[in-house]
């Protein structure tokens, strides 16, 4: 399994390593959706800084975006931060975001090339008109 999962009170952080396939992304998603903590999740941070290759074709990207679109009906306030410096990995993540936006996902997406700003952005949660860091 080329990823590590860390649950936090309001979200999840995945750290992916090495070559990552669409099946492994789907496995991480299933892990997230089956866990009752996902009901309260407000963010996901995908740390792909140590990913060396992604094996996602266009069909894989569309399928994962469509599955996440379905989930967005229940988790409509989720923020998703991607962290990558690799051009190929970043291109795949941008394509996923583009398809998710075409599908009118309610999730907010943002890409970063460093982890600290991604965590700061993801954890900045609006609550009753006020901003707070969780």
What does each of the 134 residues of the chain score in pLDDT, given as a tens digit?
589 999 999 999 999 999 999 899 989 999 999 999 999 999 999 999 999 999 888 998 899 889 889 888 878 789 999 999 999 999 999 999 999 999 999 999 999 999 999 999 999 977 544 444 44
How is the beta sheet containing 108-112 ordered, strand by strand? Answer: 3-8, 11-21, 43-55, 79-83, 108-112
Measured CA to CA, the distance from residue 27 to residue 9 in angstroms comes to 21
Domains of the chain: 3-133 (3.30.750.24)
Decide if 108 contacts 123 (C-beta within 8 A). Answer: no
Q: What secondary structure does DSSP assign to 78-89, as a single string?
A: -EEEEE---HHH
User: pTM to 2 decimals?
Assistant: 0.87
Tokens, residue 44: 């996901």
């Amino acid at each position: 399994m080329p990823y590590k999962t860390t649950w936090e009170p309001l979200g999840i952080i995945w750290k992916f390593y090495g070559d990552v396939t669409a099946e492994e992304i789907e496995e991480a998603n299933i892990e997230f959706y089956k866990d009752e903590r996902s009901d309260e999740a407000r963010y996901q941070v995908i740390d792909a800084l140590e990913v060396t290759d992604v094996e996602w074709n266009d069909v894989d990207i569309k399928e994962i975006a469509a599955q996440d679109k379905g989930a967005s009906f229940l988790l409509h306030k989720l923020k998703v931060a991607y962290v990558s410096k690799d051009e190929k990995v970043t291109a795949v993540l941008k394509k996923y975001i583009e398809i998710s936006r075409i599908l009118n996902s309610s999730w907010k997406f943002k890409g970063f090339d460093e982890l600290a700003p991604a965590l700061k952005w993801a954890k900045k949660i609006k609550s009753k008109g006020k901003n707070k860091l969780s």
